[in-house]
Amino acid sequence: MPILDDELIELRRQIHRHPELAGEERQTAGLVAEQLRAAGLDVTTGVGGHGVLAVLDGSAGGPTLVYRADMDAVDTERAVLPFPRADRVFDDGFASRVPGAAHLCGHDLHTTIGVGIARTLAQTPVRGRVAFVFQPAEEPLQGARAMLDTGLVQRLAPRESYALHCAPFPAGTIAVSPGYGLPGLDHIRIVLPDDDAVAGVTGAAAALGTVEYPRSIDEYHTRFQSVMNASLQESVCVGQWTDRTADGRPVANVLLRVWPQERFPALREQVSLLAAEAGGHAEFPGDPFPAMVNAVDLSTAAGHHLSAALGPESVLWARASWPYNCEDFALFLHEAPGGQFYLGVADAATGMNGAPHTPDFAADERAIAHGVRAMTSLLTHRLTVRD
Ligand SMILES: [Zn+2]
């Protein structure tokens, strides 16, 4: 195994051992900054919180590409699917030492792979520039906005942006999904006259859903396979909880994950109608968070490139959106089109499920080297493509 691969596994384990929740990524950002400064990149820290922007400058005349990784861990009290737990432990020796936080979404791998790509590319002369973005606070969908609000990424005028996300496909594979991606998110507060109205509205809002959360790891896997075919062209996934207004009136909160995002206005209307029928009214605390939409042309081109570079058996083509998770890489894609690809991290032989936000999430570390090679190859190639 090349030295870099060993070092990256060590880095991943170090981050895995010390997971940091959204907004607290100080140590992780420090590790990233240290490695990338040592590799000769121009590193800016504290970008939109603990964000790190590391620019690899090649010779003039080429485009600027963004490669983005996220650094925050999962809040294990709140953001884990309630599956029955298996008793297998895969991170023996480097399990989380932080109560309430764990890398159950694979961001430790994402960060490590980002460092690996930067270090690899720094050793070869390139034309153009790659801006490596290490983002904080992806889980609450805040970090991308915070980093972009500094204007530092836009100042580089990126032409394309790319990212990876761990997924329950076999390690050694990457899935591209041209034109698809992940749903947008809307939060609606329904203020109601009394508790009886809450039950009625909650039931009616649940009925807007077209998909239900998987209840076991087997259902999760079956569901994930369905993104490989065109069975989920539209999806609405409904989450709900209740609270009260300051003056004590009951509130039904409805969270909608929606694909495609063009459905938001109609859904808002439907929910407003439900609220009115129950004698209440709907409030919208903010605009819906946009869906993550991978560019058709660039994702297709990436799939073909990866297929040629890694072998066609390494590339999967997803033809639908996964309905349960949102992703604020969506905002980087608004600045510069491109794609986020699914990096397979599962290993059936050992039982590593590779399923983000499940209590037994485990990733095959061989996927790190694979991700680094795949994306280094893709970025190197894209730098040679003229506008
Ligand atoms: Zn994630």
CA of 215 to the centre of ligand 1 (A): 20
CA of 243 to the centre of ligand 1 (A): 27
Taking residue 143's Cβ as centre, other Cβ atoms within 10 Å add up to 29
279-328 pLDDT per residue, tens: 999 999 999 999 999 999 999 999 999 999 999 999 999 999 999 999 99
CA of 379 to the centre of ligand 1 (A): 22
CA of 16 to the centre of ligand 1 (A): 14
Q: How does DSSP classify residue 233?
A: S
57-68 pLDDT per residue, tens: 998 889 999 999
Please list the residue range(s) of the chain that carry CATH number 3.40.630.10.
3-181+291-384
Q: How does DSSP classify residue 326?
A: -
346-371 pLDDT per residue, tens: 999 999 999 999 999 999 999 999 99
Residue 369: closest CA among 165, 120, 160, 132: 120
User: Where residue 226 falls among pLDDT bands split at 50, 70, 90?
Assistant: confident
CA of 60 to the centre of ligand 1 (A): 34
Residue 100: closest CA among 139, 74, 70, 82: 74
CA of 102 to the centre of ligand 1 (A): 12
Torsion of CA 53, 56, 59, 60, to 10 degrees: -10
pLDDT at 259: 96
Torsion of CA 176, 232, 263, 79, to 10 degrees: -80
Q: How does DSSP classify residue 105?
A: S
**Architecture of the domain spanning 3-181+291-384:** 3-Layer(aba) Sandwich (3.40)
Please list the residue range(s) of the chain that carry CATH number 3.30.310.
184-283
User: What distances in angstroms separate CA 177 from CA 22, 87, 90, 350, one per listed residue?
Assistant: 27, 34, 29, 27
pLDDT at 128: 96
CA of 141 to the centre of ligand 1 (A): 10
pLDDT at 32: 98
User: What distances in angstroms separate CA 327 from CA 122, 213, 270, 373, one per listed residue?
Assistant: 28, 17, 25, 24
Question: Six-digit token pair at 273?
Answer: 């109608």
CATH ID of 184-283, from 3.30.310, 3.40.710, 2.40.50, 1.10.12 = 3.30.310
CA of 276 to the centre of ligand 1 (A): 36
CA of 356 to the centre of ligand 1 (A): 7
Q: What angle, rounded to 10 degrees, do the helices at 3-17 and 366-384 form?
A: 110
In the numeric block, the tokens 């109560």 are attached to 99
CA of 254 to the centre of ligand 1 (A): 22
pTM over 0.85: yes
